[in-house]
């Protein structure tokens, strides 16, 4: 080979170097109304380390439930191969692939996993799933503000203390307008009849009284000491 001879790139190298994701990533119409999952494995992912320039290899696992569009298989393969000459980190590459497919396809559900080959005794797996994004959005939408939560907690603790709605007020003549007693609903204050002196009300339960008092239990076969009274003749 002469020094001045120009080496033309192969057609594959030319396609990869000239690949434009905005124009060349071909998508097709999804003709099916039912939900179904597409699984694609791309074992030839390669990119260059942004610091050292060493190649990083990975297997890309793509799963998605299409809405209106699906990605053409050759197009996704060429798009993955276009990372071969790019200096990009593991995290940035997988996030970029997810963002591009999400914008182009707008799927109902999608998950991308980048399983990188170990390098320097380090094994990296990058995973992005729309389930986690949807779940996080729902948690934020249903999360109450801290101030409202504090007010609700305060009201609960106030009700549990037993003083909620039972304030006592005195009228001008000095009589109580409200009573702490458990009045029936709709009953007016002062409608209660005075109790007779013979009526006895005791809310505390009483123990059954025993006239015999404490009695030591007897056991079968128990021998008791016999008490013998000595008469005057025995003395």
* CATH code of the domain containing 80: 3.30.1130.10
Has 18 been labeled as part of a binding site?
no
Three-state SS for 228?
Answer: coil
Residue 230 belongs to a domain: no
CA distance 47 to 31: 35
Q: Is 233 annotated as a binding residue?
A: no
DSSP-assigned beta bridge partners for residue 109: 65
Give the model's pLDDT for residue 181.
47
Query: Residue 198 domain-assigned?
Result: no
Residue 161 within a domain: no
- For residue 117, what are the domain limits? 11-137
Instruction: Note whether residue 204 is domain-resident.
Output: no
* Whether the Cβ atoms of residue 50 and residue 87 lie closer than 8 Å to each other: yes
- Mean pLDDT, 10 residues at a time, the chain of 235 residues: 75 88 95 97 96 95 98 96 95 97 97 95 95 66 57 63 50 51 50 55 56 57 60 57
* Pairing verdict, β 27-29 and 125-129: unpaired
Please give the Cα distance from 124 to 59 (Å, whole number): 11
pLDDT at site 180 = 46
Give me the active site residues, please: 49, 56
Q: Residue 73, annotated ligand binder?
A: yes
d(CA 139, CA 136): 5
Would you say residue 218 lies in a domain? Answer: no
> Is residue 223 in some structural domain?
no
Largest CA distance in the chain: 154
Residues 6+ apart with CB under 8 A from 230: none
State the pLDDT at residue 4.
Answer: 72
What is the predicted pLDDT for the residue at 15? 87
| Residue 183 resides in a domain | no
SS3 state of residue 42: strand
pTM: predicted TM-score of the whole model, two decimal places? 0.56
**In a domain? residue 39:** yes
Number of independent structural domains in the chain: 1
Residue 7: predicted pLDDT: 82
CA 27, CA 68: separation in Å to the nearest integer? 10
């Amino acid at each position: 080979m002469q020094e001045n001879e120009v080496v033309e790139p192969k057609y594959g190298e030319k396609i990869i170097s000239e690949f434009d994701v905005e124009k060349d990533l071909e998508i097709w119409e999804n003709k099916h109304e039912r939900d179904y999952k597409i699984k694609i494995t791309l074992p030839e992912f390669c990119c260059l380390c942004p610091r050292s320039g060493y190649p990083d290899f990975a297997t890309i696992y793509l799963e998605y439930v299409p809405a209106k569009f699906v990605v053409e298989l050759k197009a996704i393969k060429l798009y993955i191969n276009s990372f071969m000459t790019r200096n990009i980190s593991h995290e940035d590459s997988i996030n970029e692939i997810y963002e591009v497919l999400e914008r182009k396809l707008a799927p109902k559900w999608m998950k991308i996993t980048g399983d990188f080959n170990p390098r320097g005794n380090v094994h990296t797996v990058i995973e992005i799933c729309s389930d986690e994004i949807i779940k996080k959005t729902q948690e934020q939408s249903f999360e109450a503000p801290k101030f409202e939560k504090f007010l609700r907690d305060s009201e609960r603790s106030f009700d549990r203390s037993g003083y909620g709605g039972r304030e006592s007020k005195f009228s001008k003549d000095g009589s109580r307008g409200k009573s702490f007693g458990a009045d029936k609903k709709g009953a007016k204050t002062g409608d209660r009849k005075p109790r007779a002196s013979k009526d006895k009300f005791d809310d505390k339960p009483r123990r059954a009284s025993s006239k015999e008092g404490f009695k030591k239990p007897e056991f079968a076969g128990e021998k008791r000491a016999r008490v013998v009274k000595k008469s005057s003749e025995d003395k």
